């Protein structure tokens, strides 16, 4: 397997687009390091100061905000990236796409805020956690004005990487300076949100002033068309929340903050591994939008790395948890081991779903598969989480990703066979 992986990398280096892919991979890697290495530095400190209960409250708020963030994203991270990548030589077209996406996301953000306020007013558990929910919501506007997708589409990740590294360094230092007792846990999502907002200000400056991209006035008809054009991808993106973040929310109701803290501790390193693999997916996405022939090369790289990550985390789980957390988090070892298996299936989802079916224009087929599998995960979450707590949540997420990943793989293979028959 190692020999095949090396030969695959050599082919990439020799390809015409290899240099651009390598450059963007490097910058995206640094970007993800900024997103996860800095938080990793704070984990041991926060584990001692805010404890498993504080971690659980942050995890609950994060799971809720993930739904709202997905609404404001609406699939634009893929459809808009694809469209800009295909038209990046046409500044007028790029400006039109950027403007429509920006205004669409602002409107969707306001709708998301309204939904959050309604939930806080009507649901007691949400009302109990309203402060951290509202502060965590700042991640949504921060994410909108930090248009990472645009830099990815232009294949110029250098600027946004520098901004991200700088801001995250500053706001990570603030954690050590201001978080001194358990009640300060609420400052953690505040610092992260401020990092996004400050970086977003400078990122928008680069796009508008340096690159001369114009922000047009809102055009309701064009905004509506933009939203409609990404609806299938949005459904595909939000449906996994039915078993993923919903399991966290459900666990909060039935298991409390401590159970959520254990689940969050165990799943955090799974998320880090998946985000690293997402770098590869995002680096190749603009290239595959132009040259789908490179898909086999990308698939080999992604699958090999996912297998390596799965085996490494499963073996090293006890060491990882004991090194980064205190003794009260020791039960998170089993979470890490169960969910390490899901890395391989997540790789199948991105390889054959996002970077094949979406690129090829099969969003509806991908949407249908995701809806069915996510509903299965949603239904199974109730007995598993209620009966087995955080272990049940980990099993729900892992098993549903397995069903989804294998289903997408099967459909993608079927599409390839159909296209080969047509060509013959």
Per-residue pLDDT reduced to its tens digit, 357-414: 888 888 888 889 999 999 999 999 999 999 999 999 999 999 999 999 999 999 999 9
**Mean pLDDT (whole number) for 326-353:** 93
Position 340 scores a pLDDT of 96
Position 252 scores a pLDDT of 84
Burial of 423 (0-12, 13-18, 19+ CB in 10 A): exposed
Greater model confidence, 336 or 183: 336
Position 390 scores a pLDDT of 92
pLDDT digits (tens, 9 = 90+) for 57-101: 888 888 889 889 889 888 888 788 888 888 888 889 999 999 999
- What's the Cα-to-Cα distance from 89 to each of 92, 154, 211, 212, 297, rounded to whole Å? 9, 9, 12, 13, 26
Each domain of the chain, given as residue ranges in start order, spans 2-423
Greater model confidence, 260 or 33: 260
**Mean pLDDT (whole number) for 299-328:** 92
């Amino acid at each position: 397997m190692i020999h095949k992986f090396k030969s695959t990398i050599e082919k990439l280096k020799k390809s015409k687009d290899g240099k651009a892919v390598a450059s963007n991979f490097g910058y995206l890697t640094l970007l993800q390091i900024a997103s996860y290495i800095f938080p990793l530095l704070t984990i041991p400190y926060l584990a001692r100061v805010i404890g498993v209960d504080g971690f659980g409250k942050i995890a609950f708020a994060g799971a809720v905000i993930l739904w709202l963030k997905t609404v404001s994203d609406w699939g634009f991270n893929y459809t808009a990236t694809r469209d800009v990548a295909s038209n990046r030589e046409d500044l007028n077209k790029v400006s039109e796409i950027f403007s429509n996406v920006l205004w669409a996301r602002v409107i969707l953000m306001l709708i998301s805020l309204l939904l959050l306020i309604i939930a806080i007013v009507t649901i007691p558990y949400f009302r109990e956690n309203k402060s951290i929910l509202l502060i965590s919501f700042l991640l949504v506007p921060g994410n909108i004005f930090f248009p990472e997708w645009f830099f990815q589409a232009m294949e110029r990740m250098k600027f946004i990487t520098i901004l991200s590294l700088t801001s995250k360094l500053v706001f990570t230092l603030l954690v050590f300076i201001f978080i001194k007792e358990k009640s300060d846990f609420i400052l953690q999502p505040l610092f992260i949100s401020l990092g996004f907002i400050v970086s977003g200000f400078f990122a928008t400056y680069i796009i508008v002033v340096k690159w001369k991209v114009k922000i047009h006035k809102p055009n309701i008809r064009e905004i509506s068309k933009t939203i409609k054009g990404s609806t299938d991808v949005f459904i595909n993106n939000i449906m996994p929340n039915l078993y993923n973040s919903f399991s966290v929310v459900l666990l909060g109701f039935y298991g409390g903050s401590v159970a959520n803290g254990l689940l969050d501790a165990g799943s955090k390193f799974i998320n880090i591994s998946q985000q690293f693999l997402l770098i590869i997916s995002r680096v190749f996405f603009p290239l595959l939008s132009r040259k789908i022939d490179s898909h086999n090369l990308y698939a080999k790289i992604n699958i090999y790395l996912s297998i390596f990550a799965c085996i490494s985390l499963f073996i090293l789980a006890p060491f990882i948890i004991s090194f980064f957390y205190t003794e009260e988090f020791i039960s998170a070892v089993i979470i890490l081991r169960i969910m390490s298996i899901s890395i391989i299936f997540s790789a199948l989802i991105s390889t054959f779903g996002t970077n094949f079916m979406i690129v090829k224009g099969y969003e509806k087929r991908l949407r249908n598969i995701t809806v069915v599998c996510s509903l299965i995960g949603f239904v199974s979450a109730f007995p598993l989480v209620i009966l087995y707590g955080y272990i049940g949540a980990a099993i729900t997420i892992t098993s549903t990703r397995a069903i989804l990943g294998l289903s997408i793989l099967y459909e993608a293979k079927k599409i390839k066979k159909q296209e080969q028959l047509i060509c013959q």
